[in-house]
Chain A
Amino acid sequence: MPQDEHKEGIGGMMNPTRYGIERVAYLLMRLSGLGLLAYFVAHIYETSNILRGQVGWNEFLELTQTTEGHLFLAIVIAMCVFHTVNGIRVMLGHGGVGVGKPARPDYPYDPASQNYRHKIGIYSSIVLAAVAAMYGLAVMFGE
């Protein structure tokens, strides 16, 4: 056990099981952000193949237009939608919008900032991400 600061570490930071859906959203936001950045870099590289002319472009397109490629893209769509919708929720929250008003707390002290508006926002972003991924799969595999 690293006793100097006794920090929980990455394992503790990433553990989504103890503090409700807000902590799950926090983890998904990070993971989707990293995933989208990786995809973005790959996408810039992918599209640069257009400089290799039609043959080069088609060669690269063949690599990505596969079942695995489509499934990967569906995950990217889900990450993108979740990161966007949840990001807007978080951004509003960061501005103090929808986090409740200060008031004398009463036992059992349910925190006003963890209210139904934000919970609905989180669940909506998860549902919308799933719907968008399915729509993406329908478009990609429907052709």
Chain B
Amino acid sequence: MSLKVDIRKNLGGFRLDVKLEAESGVTCLLGASGCGKSMTLKCIAGIEKPDEGRIELDGRALFDSEKGINLPPRERHVGYLFQNYALFPNMTVRQNILCGLNREKDRSVREARLRTMLHMLQLEGLEKHKPHQLSGGQQQRVALARILVSDPQLLLLDEPFSALDGHLRDALKIELRDLLQRYGREVLMVTHDRTEAYNMSSRIAVLHEGRLLKMKPTKALFADPGSVPAAILTGCKNIAAARRIDEHTVEVPEWGVRLETKQRVQEGLCAVGVRAHYFNASAQQNRFPVRFVEEMEEPFETTLQFRFAGQTPDSPAIWWRLAKDRRPAEFPQELGVAPANILLLYE
């Protein structure tokens, strides 16, 4: 099982340039809206045509601009779960799923596979319903059933949870993750939501303005994003330009501080990031005097904004987030951050 993508396409405003190799398991493309995520999936599915490059699935060329290969979508055996699920509104659940079985000529085999899929996705009893009679979660399951029943070699998920309400989303994430694990096929998913990416995938590639940054295992990416776009997409709130001083020291002029780092600082460092959760009133290292600015409360967490004593006036305030029950009664005079929690960003 392997997918190799190396394509380029001009998209008016910017150039899509994606080089990607994925093996079995769930790979995620994480990017802001309009960065070319969906376009990449569409190129792989054959709905859009790249200007040049090559797409290969399990050794089979789906697209090759040099050899003039461009298989139509129906010959690619790539399943595509659309953001809005794209269920056929005039057909029942049963008819929708049977559309995925159009290659199977034997009627009894078709019926048996339909039964298995209805059972697997808990859709029994809904066969005669039309899509508009189903809940968002049921619609997603029908769309998945319709795709999985066609036995695709690769499954593409385009923002699979964006059409769902918040409370449904968490339940469905668990459901879909378990299903994909049982299914055991290669899955490529795109999302702009870092939590979704973290929940669902084992590897993440960050897509920034049409360009794919290095792919990393999910936890490694969150621990060390390595670049400014990746740090932003993984939710890092405090990012500032920085300069290397020595192997374990960086200077951040905007914040008026020098920070000690655990990771070795390479040449070419351009910025540092500190996640809002990583400040600590009792940390002794990288400890500096701070001044409270304002607070924004959420149901269970709170964001306290502060400035370093030596911070330049035009730079944005720093965010400190913590659980409400751990909020100190009085804002501390000084805050520290562990050297291991300084993210070194290189581009």
Instruction: Check if A and B associate.
Output: no
Residues of A at the B interface (CB closer than 8 Å) are none
